[in-house]
Structure 1
Amino acid sequence: MESANRDSADVPGLCPDCGQSGVRLYRVRATGERFWVCEECDAAWRPGADRSKFDTDLSALLPDEPNPWKAIERADGPRQVHPQQALIDLAANGELSGLWLGMHRTDALTVVDAPHAPASDRVVTAGDVSLTFEADRLVGIAVRLPLTGIRWPGLMSLSSSPRLTPAPRSEALKALQDVNVKPLPDTSPDDRTAEFQAVGRRIRLEFDQDLLSAVSASVARS
């Protein structure tokens, strides 16, 4: 079983717990920490653990995550990444470098290293990222994109996830069109702004001299 202990991305294998061939290498989006996990039964193995026998499970490995699958991503080998993947992830999925719309306030503040922000603060700004909360849930993520470089706060600065960039306006708009994010009804993109909708979300892009200068995603109001 020598190959079962290799911590490289090219050695998937059978799960000793469920017998399925779903063991893959994953990483935590916010920290880059890697481990093996069975996509069928959630059995998990820490780096160096003997994958021929049960080690732990995903919930035990990430006990502070209410939904651990939301906090991790596949790390087994290269993947084709859209140049504006971070924009797509935020618009289509409400996710950005360890944050996601709907997560608990405490978890979101930990990601941006602002755990002691007063509970009365509906909007908390850290670096170039602003978070909006409602009833202890994250309902809005906004990011400024200065040409001098984005100041990513806390764990976001360590994340290996794709990064937002001041992309050309045409490139940013095409990225959202490619994943069928629809323009907000009764609006049309102009030189300064563009607003879109996805399932349960609204997305707003702002432009400065034909470059993307700010992005925000928020929970849609019914």
Structure 2
Amino acid sequence: MTDSYGKPHEAPPNEKRISSLSPETAIHKMTCAHCQQDWIYLFRRMDTGERFHLCPECESVWLEGGDLRLDTDVYLSEFMSPADPGREWEVIEPADQ
């Protein structure tokens, strides 16, 4: 990637993760119940191995086994450790289904 001056720079972690997603890897191509703007994907925390469902658009989170058809009040920043805000996308990765 390049910046507005044409200099190369590293994409932010969330852009790297989102750009690697495709609708084929979405959970049964289910649209987010919260924002209706993106598919829901299965992710994994690299630090704990915990798997969860995530809408990359609005960062809504559903715990694995939760009803994805229902809206959620949990967001990625709340789901991850509040002790290190802003690094959420650095410690998660798309999970195998």
Which bin holds the TM-score, normalised by the shorter protein?
0.5 to 0.7
Q: How many pairs are equivalent?
A: 69
Kept after mapping to 1: 8 A contact 2:52/2:63:
yes
TM-score (norm 1): 0.29
Give the Cα separation in 2 of the matches to 1:11 and 1:32: 22
| Greater length-normalized contact order (CA 8 Å, ≥ 6 residues apart) | 2
Report deviation, 1:30: 1.4
Change (3 A) 1:53 1:31: same
Aligned-residue sequence identity (percent) comes to 38
Give the Cα separation in 2 of the matches to 1:52 and 1:60: 20
Q: Deviations over 1:185-219 (max 9, x none)?
A: xxxxxxxxxxxxxxxxxxxxxxxxxxxxxxxxxxx
Change (3 A) 1:64 1:53: farther
SS at match of 1:60: helix
Give the Cα separation in 2 of the matches to 1:17 and 1:10: 15
Correspondences of 1:1-222 after superposition (within 5 Å): 10-55=27-72, 56-62=74-80, 63-66=82-85, 67-77=87-97
TM-score (norm 2): 0.62
Q: Which amino acid aligns with 1:73?
A: E
Give the Cα separation in 2 of the matches to 1:76 and 1:11: 13
Corresponding position of 1:121: none
| Structure 2 unaligned blocks of 5 or more | 1-25
Greater percentage in strand? 1
**Which of structure 1's runs of 4+ aligned residues deviate more than 3 A?**
none
Give the Cα separation in 1 of the matches to 2:68 and 2:36: 12
Give the Cα separation in 2 of the matches to 1:49 and 1:42: 16
Superposed CA RMSD in Å reads 1.8
Report deviation, 1:65: 3.5
Report deviation, 1:22: 2.5
Larger Rg: 1
Give the Cα separation in 1 of the matches to 2:58 and 2:28: 18
Kept after mapping to 1: 8 A contact 2:43/2:95:
yes
| Structure 1 unaligned blocks of 5 or more | 1-8, 78-222
